[in-house]
Amino acid sequence: MVVVRYRGKEYELKPGMTARDAILKLGLDPEAVLVLRNGKLVDDSAILEDGDEVTIVAVVSGG
């Protein structure tokens, strides 16, 4: 399983999906978040593997 954390909640997803697929499965906007896999920033085409720990963080912008 892939453990995904977002805003204090934890989700378990099946391995083999892309980071973008995981973002969409959680109902998030891919343009508004960043994905960290095992503590390292990855792009949304990264394939998530069994045992990965994924953290999704919201992009904050100001102006």
Q: Is the pLDDT of residue 41 over 90?
A: yes
- Confirm if 61 and 37 have CB atoms less than 8 A apart: no
d(CA 7, CA 49): 22
Give mean pLDDT, residues 38-43.
97
CA-closest candidate to residue 48, choices 8, 4, 6, 7: 4
Domains, the chain, ordered by start: 2-58 (3.10.20.30)
pTM for the whole thing?
Answer: 0.90
d(CA 60, CA 52): 25
pLDDT band at 20 (very low <50, low <70, confident <90, very high): very high
Q: Which two tokens stand for residue 49?
A: 């593997």
Residue 14 DSSP label: -
